[in-house]
Structure 1
Amino acid sequence: MAKHTLLWSIVGVGALVAIRAVQRRNRQIDFRDKVVVITGGSRGLGLVIARQLAQEGARLAICARTQEALDAAAAELRTHGHDVYAHRCDLTDKDQLDDFFEHVNQQLGPVDVLINNAGVIMAGPYANTTDDDFHDSMNTNFWAAYHATNAVLPDMQARKAGRIVNVASFGGKVSVPHLLPYSASKFALVGYSEGLRAEVARDNIFVTTICPGLIRTGSPRQALVRGQHEKEYAWFKIGDSLPGLSLSAEKVASEIIEATRYGEAERIVSLPAKFAGAVHGLFPGLVTDTLAFINTLLPDPSLSGHNSIRKEGKELETSLSQNPLTTLTEEAAQHNNELI
């Protein structure tokens, strides 16, 4: 009896693997001549994704808040002969967002792939955060993705085809100390993304949730900081720079593109993120207690009124944040348009 049970178990697993392989092959898309929108595509991870999709022949539309960075990104992509439409847009303003997608449709045609990549992050203890910090994080990290999705979804449903990629974060799976506004907004995005996939799959639209760990994009200088500013910024930038703990933007971008190509439901990127996520699923209390200990190693909340001000990382460079440990982040910042 035991042998028969083992045999049927092996057959069942083999059948499941075969079905998944066929399903994966049937869902595969070619990005050549596809209209792909990348929000936050002027720098960092968004720009790296744009570079790689351009090499695959995609017709790109990128948007960002800063015209100078947007112009630089578009010029770089066009230098290599790639088709790109660049549009200055504050995605937290729905009128601007709708105007962007209307222009994309006029310039390039219906959107085949939407990559909701734009985001903001703030480092600082909860005691020093404000309501505005949470509102700003939700507006960019969740509501912008929500409204962008609704801008393309009706047409995708009418055509019975489309891909929507929500770049969330490991912080949307496990909430990390000193990043609460960010984690709260990414948790919202993960929940929305997973539920949306279940509802629109019948229309041959595949929603993919991406949860990367730390990425060396060069973006810490764009981070918002509260509390003991220089100390907060230093730990954030160092953590974002260390090999093994963080991945290159190129590696993460390639994983996002592969997950999109095959219409995967979710991809957690980086071994530390996968490990911590798996442990959290089995032992959430243990992970929370571990994070509570890590919190004791982070800078204490500031009691100074001056330190309650929100500053950008690029204002806070010191010898703590500019040292050999952050070399990879400095190099990424130069390469990925983060210095503009």
Structure 2
Amino acid sequence: MTYQIFKKWCGVKNKNTSEKILLAYLVERNGKLKAAGSLWAEYSMLKATIFLHESINISKFSTLIAFLKRKNVGYKPKKASVFTKDEMFKFLIEALDELFLIHKVAMILGVAGACRREELYKMTIKDIEDRESFIIITISNTKTNIQRTFTVINKKNEKINYLRIVRKYIKLRPNNAKSLHLFLNYRNGKCKNQVVGKGTIGALSSKMAEYLKLENAVNYTGHSFRRTSATLLANKGVDVLGLKRHGGWKSSTVAESYVEDSLQNKNQFAEKILHDDNESPCSVSDNILQSSACASTSRTFSVDTNTEKSNISISISSCNNCTFNFK
């Protein structure tokens, strides 16, 4: 549709596709578009369709790109809100299965696999392999055409039994289910023989936010599970490469944004900048034990002198910049 509108405009002007014509067209469109990011969205659609129909790569039009970047200054795209680990636990533990079982399964799979809304919608019962101690899920049809595999596991002494929740929902599937889609309509503790649509799956996270009484529940969208997954991993210290593998991102830009926004990283930087490290461990070498910043503390060190049965225990208290030599 966007391409047809552009070509109709070109026909009125009696012009062919070129950088100058595209620049003039987008300048005119800029005055009509309301949302700040709409100009980039229209450019992206034109880029794909013009290359498809005319084999012209408009991404090489430097003047056009410079214009778009200038118009984009100060624009911050809206991002789906994310759930914290505590909020996830609260929902999974407190929400009634009779009302929210499908929500729980979507949250578990969506966060564990960094799933997009479309990936949850297209997920089938054949994509799930139950290995008793864990469940394997394969996502074949992805936006970036990168097949991903992730697992769901339990942990001893943890309050939430993830496997039980997923298995409970799967067992409720009608025996005569006509579709292989995993997510079937769920009401009053029963699954119906009707596939859950993409829009409904996208709205599940906002329903969870409403249950948890979170502010701006409408900001929890179908992308919230994916962003929550990446955020939790980044806060655990996972690097860009690990995030790219987990989420199937081809570009490092998105993965880097999660690492940059990680609260754990920000807290570590703040600690290094604003606070003295008075509790740093003292270093130990074979011949020299150096202790620094150990004032008003008591520490015990084990020193290996590279000889059999020669471990030495040393207790140190009220020490500051002490050096011990062993001969």
Measured against the shorter chain, the TM-score band is under 0.3
TM-score, with normalisation over the residues of structure 1?
Answer: 0.23
Please give the TM-score of this superposition, normalised by the length of structure 2: 0.23
Please identify the structure whose Cα radius of gyration is greater.
2
